[in-house]
Amino acid sequence: MPASSTPPLLGTAAPGWLEVWLEAGREGRIFTYANPEARAIGVGDLVRVRLQGRPHTGLVVATAAVCPAAMEGRTILPLEAVLQSAAIDPHWQELLEAVARQCHTGLFRTLKSALPPGWLGQARRAPAGQGRILWTVRLNPDSIAVISHPRQQELVDHLASHGGARLLRDLVHEAGFGRSLIGTMERRGLLLKESGRGPARASGAGATPLELPQRASPAQAEAMAAIADAPPGQALLLWGVTGSGKTEVYLQAAARELAAGRSVLILAPEIGLIPQLLDRCRRRFGVAVIEYHSGMGDGERVVAWRRCLEATLHQEACLAVGTRSAVFLPLGHLGLIVLDEEHDASYKQESPMPCYHAREVARLRAHQTGARLVLGSATPSLETWWRCQPGPQGWPGDTRLLPLPERIGQRPLPPVRLVDMRQELVDGHRRLISRPLMARLEKLPERGEQAVVLVPRRGYRSFLSCRSCGEVVLCPHCDVALTVHRGPRAGGQEGREWLRCHWCDHRQEMGDRCGHCGSTAFKPFGAGTQRVMEQLATELEGLRLIRFDRDTTRGRDGHRRLLERFAAGEADVLVGTQMLAKGMDLPAVTLAAVLAADGLLHRPDLRASEQCLQLLLQLAGRAGRGERPGEVLVQTYSPDHPVIRHLVDGRYGAFLAEELELRRQGGMVPFGRACLLRLAGPTASGTATAAAALAERIRPALEEAGWVLIGPAPAPVARVAGRSRWQLLLHGPGTAVLPLPHDSDLRRALPPGVSLTIDPDPLEL
Ligand code: ADP
Ligand code: ZN
Ligand code: ZN
């Protein structure tokens, strides 16, 4: 049911027919309703309609002057009520349509992915008007900003005579202060605005003193000027080595936009990085920072979403900070989007569809709204770096490179030293922790210094195998080895070992016998964070340790609590998985070490080298950020591996150039395009048959368009959580459009129980 036109928001002639998106069934659908009373309704309004006799909340996604179904004489139900006008704006709709197109899926799935979970449900419970947030405006007792206008003084006096705070509504409607005046004072930190009417939370950010901008280094100043002068919609890559002050550039660029009345969106790849970023934003800008990520409850996310809508409605500029999904926040008059750590794979949604990359969505959004896009990283992705190269014909060259080549205060980047583990073995040292690493860890406490130690895997041991037949103990539901964990689990005993699947979270006891040969002897292999902790504790008595992995950082403040303890000097060493390489800025950390770099090096994937070098350079970037110089120690059995060589040389640019040449020769991304179709079903044979049928169905159009179809083949992990997985890999020329039918058409042809995901531009092949 395509709509014939998409008129602007309110104020035009009332449309006769509405295309309304309803959350009906698992898929949701778009239905047509009539607007008999000629109400002023536009795209983006929330309405109440009936479907099969039951009331539903729906979103108007298009309006039309004519309706084919009605002309055919079919009955079209009228809408019942308008729940909220302009719940989303037209730009947002365009954005979603573009994302849906790029990701080869429908608008419904895209909407569902973009909206906060439960948003429609919430809207149903809060009809028009009541859904509005109550804002309280209060004086900021810690403000150091200067009052620059008599009207500002009047507002300050007025608030003071009301005990320091009043509802925004009353300030505007009763006392007659303008929203723009309040907005300006809020941005300058004179006032704080909080949702609700209650008193300020005792420990709330209202107590945080505002921090002044740093005096920019020459390189920072140049980058800031380039951002300020960039034409609307321009993308810029801020390539700054670790500790070069990228965040300061983001904050000052943000301050500029906010002062000009435009909104700012800052994204980080992981929840673990949000608290630090929020703190810095709040210290700089006061409390008016909107937080949005999947670590928040549904209700909180709905509130954040509403705050964006409110701000847009009242033409107020606001600052939002969040993870991947925050790229969809409905902020109007957006001036700046920042993606910190733009190379990070967490920006990619793997499932469910749409399999979008927040960086690409941000590019679209910047293009549509005229916002500048700043992509920041110490180790930019090959793709983004490539887009900065003027290069030969056919290279985009559409992103501007802004380098920050030095750390703040000219602090040197820490030197990287290798420990050849083969030599350790030859010398009869068989421990996990090499002698050079021991020697350095030992000295930490007396020097008052700290270290971070990266262990690629959590748990106690990587896997367990049978001493007699060599069979590895596998998960009963997945084709992967179970990891040995130690310590209490539900009903388990302290110190006891048990097995766990890191894919489906299946847990089981160790078992007495090998399921294959009946032997009772097992042999554990590899070391996880738990075992490293144990070894460090026994070999270096008195060294204080904190484990930092997915098992110990659960819950909303898990990361923050552990990092705060470490920052406060409660431990000498932080032992953790990859999450410890990211973003942490702790001046006492002088040593960064990797225990088993080999586990990271040998992965059969297009981006394995790139991702591994990024991780190791990020980890190296944690050391020596304060006054004292830092050092990086890498334990490896492959000291000659190209990634290790580039790590030691610290020349990431040289790596990118080499890698790009390899990709060019192989016609791979970004010189070619890839697309992965993933199928999953209850049985291996059923899924394989479905994959083969799908391949035959799409092959003719693909081949005609110059694409190559590889497969179907079982996925690298062929079974997860009891579902068999097959995949089709498509390769095409660089600029080629992917000739695939709509995903719902493809899905319709699949047997029941078999699911399909289309992942255009997959990160892992
Ligand atoms: P990056 O994000 O590039 O790793 P950060 O933004 O975390 O770097 O900055 C590293 C450190 O340098 C931080 O402690 C920050 O406060 C400090 N810093 C940044 N810019 C300046 C500046 N212009 N003058 C002084 N200190 C600065
Ligand atoms: Zn056996
Ligand atoms: Zn499993």
**Region of poorest pLDDT, from 243-257, 294-308, 316-330:** 294-308
Report the alpha-carbon distance of residue 170 to residue 154 in Å, rounded.
Answer: 15
Look at 16 and 218; give whichever has higher pLDDT: 218
CB under 8 Å to 329, separation ≥6 — which residues? Answer: 265, 290, 292, 304, 305, 308, 320, 322
Which ligand 1 atom sits closest to the C-alpha of 246?
Answer: 3
Q: Check pLDDT > 70 for residue 175.
A: yes
Probe residue for ligand 1, chosen from 215, 239, 247, 277 as the CB with the greatest number of ligand atoms within 8 Å = 247
User: How do residues 707-739 score in pLDDT, each as one tens digit?
Assistant: 899 989 998 888 888 899 999 999 888 777 788
Exposure string (b/e) for 686-702, b if CB count within 10 Å is 16 or more? bbbbbbeebbeebeeeb
For ligand 2, the distance from its centroid to the CA atom of residue 698, given in whole angstroms, is 44
Write down the architecture of domain 672-760 according to CATH.
2-Layer Sandwich (3.30)
| Dihedral of alpha carbons 253, 259, 262, 268, sign | positive
Give percent above pLDDT 70 in the chain. 89
Query: What value does the mean pLDDT take over residues 478-500?
Result: 73
For ligand 3, the distance from its centroid to the CA atom of residue 506, given in whole angstroms, is 5
Q: Which two tokens stand for residue 457?
A: 């895997």
| CATH code of the region 218-352+359-389 | 3.40.50.300
Tell me how far CA of residue 472 lies from CA of 2, 36, 462, 509, 598, in angstroms.
55, 68, 11, 15, 20
CB under 8 Å to 613, separation ≥6 — which residues? Answer: 379, 643, 646, 647, 652, 655
> Is-cis flag, bond preceding 354, omega within 30?
yes
Probe residue for ligand 1, chosen from 248, 411, 589 as the CB with the greatest number of ligand atoms within 8 Å = 248
Which ligand 1 atom sits closest to the C-alpha of 587?
Answer: 14
**By three-state DSSP, how is residue 405 classified?**
coil
Query: What value does the mean pLDDT take over residues 540-562?
Result: 83
User: How do residues 382-392 score in pLDDT, each as one tens digit?
Assistant: 999 999 988 76
User: How do residues 22-69 score in pLDDT, each as one tens digit?
Assistant: 766 555 678 889 887 777 888 778 888 888 888 887 888 788 777 777
User: How do residues 92-145 score in pLDDT, each as one tens digit?
Assistant: 878 988 999 899 888 778 888 888 887 665 444 443 433 345 677 888 776 767
Strand partners, 713: 727
For ligand 1, the distance from its centroid to the CA atom of residue 280, given in whole angstroms, is 11
Q: Check pLDDT > 60 for residue 491.
A: no
pTM of the model: 0.81
For ligand 3, the distance from its centroid to the CA atom of residue 523, given in whole angstroms, is 20
Rounded to 5°, angle at Cα 143 from 137 and 148: 85
Amino acid symbol at 185: M
Report the alpha-carbon distance of residue 617 to residue 652 in Å, rounded.
Answer: 9
For ligand 3, the distance from its centroid to the CA atom of residue 681, given in whole angstroms, is 15
Which ligand 1 atom sits closest to the C-alpha of 217?
Answer: 23
For ligand 2, the distance from its centroid to the CA atom of residue 513, given in whole angstroms, is 8
Query: What value does the mean pLDDT take over residues 437-464?
Result: 89
Nearest ligand for residue 468 CA: 2
Band the pLDDT of 688: cuts 50, 70, 90: very high
Report the alpha-carbon distance of residue 78 to residue 33 in Å, rounded.
Answer: 5
Query: Which superfamily does CATH assign the domain made up of 17-125 to?
Result: PriA, 3(prime) DNA-binding domain (3.40.1440.60)
- pLDDT score of 573: 94
For residues 16 and 34, the answer to whether their CB atoms sit within 8 Å is yes
Report the alpha-carbon distance of residue 178 to residue 201 in Å, rounded.
Answer: 26
Query: What value does the mean pLDDT take over residues 72-95?
Result: 78
> Is-cis flag, bond preceding 436, omega within 30?
no
Task: Tell me whether strands 589-594 and 450-454 are parallel, antiparallel or unpaired.
Answer: parallel
Listing DSSP states for 618-661 in one string gives: HHHTTSS-SSS--EEEEEES-TTSHHHHHHHHT-HHHHHHHHHH
| CATH code of the region 414-458+529-664 | 3.40.50.300
Cα dihedral 648, 650, 654, 656, rounded to 10, equals 100
Probe residue for ligand 1, chosen from 239, 338, 408 as the CB with the greatest number of ligand atoms within 8 Å = 408
**Region of poorest pLDDT, from 81-85, 196-200, 239-243, 532-536:** 196-200
Which ligand 1 atom sits closest to the C-alpha of 216?
Answer: 23
- pLDDT score of 226: 96
Q: Which residues have C-beta under 5 Å from ligand 2, the single-atom ion?
A: 466, 468-469, 471, 514, 516-517, 519
Report the alpha-carbon distance of residue 616 to residue 249 in Å, rounded.
Answer: 24
Q: Which residue has the tokens 């419904």?
A: 108
Mean pLDDT over the full length of the chain: 83
Q: Do 17-125 and 218-352+359-389 come out as alike in CATH topology?
A: no
Which ligand 1 atom sits closest to the C-alpha of 241?
Answer: 3
Report the alpha-carbon distance of residue 696 to residue 252 in Å, rounded.
Answer: 54
- pLDDT score of 25: 55
User: How do residues 391-410 score in pLDDT, each as one tens digit?
Assistant: 766 677 899 999 999 888 88
- pLDDT score of 729: 92
Amino acid symbol at 264: V
Residue nearest to atom 19 of ligand 1 (CA): 245
Q: Check pLDDT > 80 for residue 287.
A: no
Which ligand 1 atom sits closest to the C-alpha of 240?
Answer: 3
Residue nearest to atom 20 of ligand 1 (CA): 245
Alpha helices (H) along 174-217: 179-187
Residue nearest to atom 23 of ligand 1 (CA): 216
For ligand 1, the distance from its centroid to the CA atom of residue 562, given in whole angstroms, is 22
User: How do residues 555-595 score in pLDDT, each as one tens digit?
Assistant: 767 778 888 899 999 999 999 988 888 878 888 999 999 99
Which sequence spans correspond to the domains of the chain? Answer: 17-125, 135-195, 218-352+359-389, 414-458+529-664, 461-526, 672-760
For ligand 3, the distance from its centroid to the CA atom of residue 295, given in whole angstroms, is 24
Report the alpha-carbon distance of residue 208 to residue 511 in Å, rounded.
Answer: 54
Probe residue for ligand 1, chosen from 237, 246, 407, 585 as the CB with the greatest number of ligand atoms within 8 Å = 585
Q: Which residues have C-beta under 5 Å from ligand 3, the single-atom ion?
A: 475, 477-478, 501, 503-504, 506
Which ligand 1 atom sits closest to the C-alpha of 408?
Answer: 12
DSSP annotation of 272: G
Residue nearest to atom 15 of ligand 1 (CA): 245
Report the alpha-carbon distance of residue 186 to residue 346 in Å, rounded.
Answer: 33
Ligand 1 — pocket residues by CB below 6 A? 214-217, 220, 240, 242-248, 408, 585
- pLDDT score of 131: 36
